[in-house]
Amino acid sequence: MMRWALTGIVLVLLSGCGFLGWDVYDRREAYLEAESIPRVTIPESLDEPPFEDLLVVPNVLDPRQIAGQKLKLGLPEALSTTYGVDQIVIKRLGEDRWVFVDSPPSMVWPKIRGFFAANRIPLRRTDPASGVMETEWLLADGDTPQAVLENLKRSRANRNAKSQHKFQVRLEAGLRPGSTEVYLEHRQLPAGLPIRSDAVQWNNVSDDDALEGVLLSDIAYYLGDHINASPAFSAMASNVGTGQKAELILDSTKPVLKYRLSFERAWATVGDALDSARISVEDLDRNAATYYVYYDDSETREPGFFRRLFSRDDKLPLPGSAYRYEVHLDNSAKPTEVHVVVKKDDATLADALIAEKLLKIIKQYST
């Protein structure tokens, strides 16, 4: 009997004070309601030790002016690494072309170096901090761009060369966080012409667009085959393009999506983003720099390759006029900076939170 009595006492003790009817202090609720208290005051007769704040609370910016409001927060949006765009895409706008890679410059840089090494194309200059690499002058012969490229890969043994070529590869941070844009530029001179390496001028215009396109395609295919194999990382290249090309500026009345691009590319980027996000475009006016769209902020969008694959051709019914908005582009401040805003009509801004959601989607799908 004594053993059973002792067992009962232990169980009562383990069950906690609440079993006995005592009030239990809930520290979780107290933590949520806690406020700052003054520092401890040390009497003048005693030495005062140095106080250091273990957790410094910064001033909170409130561009939406929602301080003091009660908000209902839902679950965060699911993360995606592709956002519905293929990992590697050759993009073109006018005479410009580049490779879009859904990986950061620090991951792309070693792969491009691997491309030149695999093809025995010697590099004269590599500067990962600026994202630039240049080849030696390469001797080549051939009647077509593809033949010239194949000839370039064995240029050191080429004694019948008619021309010499030099290439510059430039990596830039992409519009989407964690992405890279790869640009290529080409210079060509007759074989045998003396050359000063420091006299090469790069001006973003290639001497042979066709040869540039062939080599850029080769680089894109190589990246497609190797970007996920044997991961490599360049710490110095991680600083390439630290400035954002696309930035969402929050505001309580007029949120703005800022592109640091030419107007032509910003216009094409917004149009492509709206199409990739499957936001219905009723009309567009290039002269007015406006897309007329239908957007329902209650819709759930699930970016991803398979979603695009099976639903790209689906025609969604247009919602009512209450969901009609104007996506307007403006580059009046700077020629290389475009501001995108959302309006209800020419004279009225859209609701700030709805505009912010739509601009986030456009930024998310921008390439």
Does the domain at 88-192+201-239 match CATH 3.30.310.80? Answer given as yes
- Asked if 118 contacts 170 with a C-beta cutoff of 8 angstroms, the reply is no
Closest by CA position to 101, among listed 171, 186, 169, 206: 171
Beta strand segments in 106-216, E: 123-127, 132-135, 138-140, 163-173, 180-190
Give the confidence band of 315 by pLDDT, cuts at 50, 70, 90.
Answer: very low
pLDDT digits (tens, 9 = 90+) for 184-240: 999 998 887 877 766 788 888 999 999 999 999 999 999 988 888 877 778 888 778
Determine the pLDDT at residue 19: 46
Domain 246-364, CATH among 3.40.50, 1.10.287, 1.10.150, 3.30.310: 3.30.310
Q: Are the C-beta atoms of 328 and 290 separated by less than 8 Å?
A: yes
pTM: 0.72
Cα torsion 212, 217, 220, 222: sign: negative
DSSP 155: G
Q: Which tens digit of pLDDT belongs to each residue from 3-56? A: 555 555 555 555 555 444 455 555 666 666 777 777 778 888 888 877 776 677
Among the residue ranges 19-33, 234-248, 322-336, the one predicted with the least confidence is 19-33
> In terms of pLDDT, which residue wins out, 157 or 260?
260
pLDDT of residue 80: 45
Nearest CA to 363 out of 266, 243, 248 is that of 248
What are the boundaries of each domain within the chain?
88-192+201-239, 246-364
pLDDT more than 70, % of the chain: 77
At 283, give phi and psi (nearest 5°).
Answer: -160, 165
Residue 135, pLDDT score: 93
Encode burial over 158-190: b for 16+ CB neighbours within 10 A, e otherwise.
Answer: beebebbbbbbbbbbbbbbeebbbbbbbbbbee
Chain-centroid distance, C-alpha 179: 5
Report pLDDT digits (tens) over 92-141. Answer: 998 899 999 988 899 999 999 999 999 999 999 999 999 999 999 888 88
Closest CA to 117 of 126, 130, 127: 126
pLDDT, one tens digit per residue, over 258-297 is 999 999 999 999 999 999 999 999 999 999 999 999 999 8
pLDDT greater than 70 at residue 334: yes
Q: Between the CA of residue 31 and those of 26, 56, 110, 155, what are the distances in Å?
A: 9, 17, 48, 71
What's the CA gap between 146 and 167, in Å, rounded?
A: 15
Same fold for the pair 88-192+201-239 and 246-364: yes
What is the rounded distance in angstroms from the CA atom of residue 45 to the CA atom of residue 3?
59
φ, ψ dihedrals at 166, nearest 5°: -140, 140
Q: What is the DSSP letter of 2?
A: H
**269: closest CA among 335, 349, 338, 332?**
338
Tell me, what amino acid is at 152?
Answer: L
Report residue 358's pLDDT band, with 50, 70 and 90 as the boundaries: very high
pLDDT of residue 74: 64
